[in-house]
């Protein structure tokens, strides 16, 4: 075993000195020790800066302000969508705040990205961008973007999510000199049973786990103990129930809000309807672990998880149908279409088409009464009339009506 360790060390030394990546990283001042909340931040070393007003990074010029590092990728739609809010905050708190977008990509790539992005131009986003970055990411490692770091009074105040960077929280930080925000740690883990080491088997249900990555229902067998661990972390009650039900029976479609029947006092604690992100999660999300010494089929495990949630939370959930106003896809005489349609997609029958269309919340629910396996090629459309023009060539059309759709009932025990 000792010889293996020495061999590993020799190999690491060889890789360090001869790998082009490692040499390049070293030349770009990659930190060896990541920073955590409460740690001292001593400012930028070297860095490449574009956009914004300043031409060079100057820590002395901003060290008395709140400094926000907003790590992003050009292909991250959430990152791009959050930039106007960051710009708004920068404009409003310009004397006390400096926000930097931070990217690993090069200047050429970023120049092309900003030049071609009409959304950011329309929103007048012109925040300074630190590019070619490796140093800051090594200080604040992460797997997913956006990834936000807040620095104030020389210390790391928060490593958090973009949704909690709000006007209210900026004011609180300026007022108090510190702030407690949800921690974003893409490598964070937890063991809900660690405080009860003697109980190797059992069920644990807890609330939001700060610094732990969101995880949907997952079943993993331990190769050493042969125990089976079933877990999810930082999920809404509604999402947790749906995850469990999907192990038992797959829903025929993605449910909309109108397909959830609430028989509870306050549905807002079961699902985040306002999309307020981590602020809601901290108050209402739940985490769950179950350890068994038998590996059950997924359908059985789904029922066990469902039973645990029902029992712990004092609720029950079950499926029914609900009549709703919708569009009906019905037969009609085929009509040839001469117009050229762009951005065509193929759908393997009317069932696939109606389910795909129903994903779009801007569209009404669609019930398939045509029941055809014929492939449909449907392209861009501005309204239902344009969509019907394309559908008629396949002998079907959308009309207003009513139909029964599956629905889930979530009911509290009386």
pLDDT tens-digit map of 97-116: 999 999 999 999 999 999 99
Identify the weakest region by mean pLDDT among 16-25, 35-44, 204-213, 216-225: 16-25
Q: Are 116 and 90 in contact (CB under 8 A)?
A: no
Q: What is the pLDDT of residue 392?
A: 95
Phi and psi dihedrals of 251, rounded to 5?
-65, 145
Q: Is the pLDDT of residue 316 over 80?
A: yes
Q: What is the pTM of this model?
A: 0.77
32-37 long-range contacts, CB within 8 A, separation 24+: 32/138, 34/138, 34/139, 34/140, 34/141, 35/139, 35/140, 35/156, 36/156, 36/159, 37/156, 37/157, 37/158, 37/159, 37/183
Identify the weakest region by mean pLDDT among 119-128, 187-196, 266-275: 187-196
DSSP one-letter code for 145: S
Helices 167-176, 77-92: axis angle to 10 degrees equals 50
Integer Cα distance of 218 and 208 in angstroms: 17
pLDDT band at 30 (very low <50, low <70, confident <90, very high): low
Give the closest residue to 279 by CA, choosing from 130, 406, 169.
169
Q: What is the pLDDT of residue 32?
A: 63
Q: Is the pLDDT of residue 22 over 70?
A: no
Number of H helices, E strands in the chain: 13, 16
pLDDT band at 375 (very low <50, low <70, confident <90, very high): very high
Give the closest residue to 365 by CA, choosing from 409, 328, 320.
328
β-strands 155-160, 147-152 pairing: antiparallel
Q: What is the pLDDT of residue 29?
A: 56
Q: What is the pLDDT of residue 4?
A: 37
Domain 26-176 coded CATH 3.40.30.10: yes
Q: Are 69 and 155 in contact (CB under 8 A)?
A: no
pLDDT band at 311 (very low <50, low <70, confident <90, very high): very high
User: Which regions of the chain carry the CATH code 3.40.30.10?
Assistant: 26-176
Please write the tens of the pLDDT for every residue from 319-352: 999 999 999 999 999 998 888 888 889 999 999 9
Percent of the chain scoring above 70 in pLDDT: 90
Which residues 6+ apart lie within 8 Å of 344 measured at CB? 377, 378, 379
Integer Cα distance of 325 and 30 in angstroms: 58
Integer Cα distance of 242 and 253 in angstroms: 12
Give the closest residue to 129 by CA, choosing from 83, 165, 167.
83
Q: Are 404 and 341 in contact (CB under 8 A)?
A: no
β-strands 215-221, 228-235 pairing: antiparallel
Percent of the chain scoring above 90 in pLDDT: 74
Three-state DSSP class for 216?
Answer: strand
Positive or negative: CA dihedral 400, 402, 407, 410: positive
Integer Cα distance of 285 and 56 in angstroms: 43
- In Å, how far are 79, 223, 225, 303 from 300, measured between CA atoms? 39, 21, 21, 5
């Amino acid at each position: 075993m000792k010889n293996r360790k020495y061999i590993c060390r020799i190999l690491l030394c060889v890789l360090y000195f001869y790998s082009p990546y490692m040499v390049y990283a070293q030349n770009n001042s990659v930190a060896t020790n990541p920073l955590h909340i409460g740690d001292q931040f001593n400012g930028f070393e070297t860095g490449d800066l574009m956009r914004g007003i300043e031409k060079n990074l100057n820590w002395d010029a901003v060290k008395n302000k709140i400094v926000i590092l907003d790590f992003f990728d050009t292909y991250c739609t959430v990152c791009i969508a959050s930039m106007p809010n960051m710009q708004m905050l920068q404009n409003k708190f310009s004397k006390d705040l400096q926000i930097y977008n931070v990217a690993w990509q090069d200047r050429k790539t970023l120049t092309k990205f900003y030049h071609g992005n009409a959304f950011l131009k329309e929103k007048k986003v012109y925040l300074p961008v630190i590019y070619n970055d490796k140093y800051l990411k090594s200080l604040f490692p992460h797997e997913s973007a956006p990834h936000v770091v807040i620095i104030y009074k020389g210390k790391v105040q928060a490593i958090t999510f973009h949704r909690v960077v709000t006007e209210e929280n900026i004011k609180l930080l300026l007022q108090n000199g510190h702030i407690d925000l949800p921690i974003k740690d893409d490598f964070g883990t937890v063991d809900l049973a660690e405080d009860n080491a003697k109980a190797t088997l059992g069920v644990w249900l807890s609330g939001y786990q700060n610094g732990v990555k969101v995880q949907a229902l997952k079943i993993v067998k331990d190769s050493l103990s042969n125990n089976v661990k079933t877990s999810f972390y930082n999920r809404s009650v509604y999402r947790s129930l749906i995850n469990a039900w999907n192990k038992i029976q797959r829903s025929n479609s993605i449910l909309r809000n109108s397909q959830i029947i609430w028989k509870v006092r306050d549905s807002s604690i079961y699902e985040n309807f306002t999309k307020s992100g981590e602020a809601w999660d901290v108050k209402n999300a739940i985490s769950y672990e179950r350890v068994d010494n038998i590996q059950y089929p997924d359908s059985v495990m789904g029922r066990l998880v469902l039973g645990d949630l029902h029992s712990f939370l004092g609720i029950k959930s079950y499926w029914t149908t609900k009549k709703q106003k919708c569009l009906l896809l019905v037969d009609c005489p085929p009509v040839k279409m001469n117009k050229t349609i762009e951005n065509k997609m193929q759908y393997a029958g009317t069932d696939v088409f109606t389910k795909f269309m129903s994903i779009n919340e801007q569209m009404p629910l669609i019930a398939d009464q045509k029941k055809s396996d014929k492939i449909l090629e449907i392209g861009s459309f501005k309204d239902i009339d344009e969509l019907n023009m394309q559908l008629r060539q396949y002998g079907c059309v959308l009309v207003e009506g009513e139909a029964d759709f599956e629905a889930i009932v979530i009911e509290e025990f009386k």
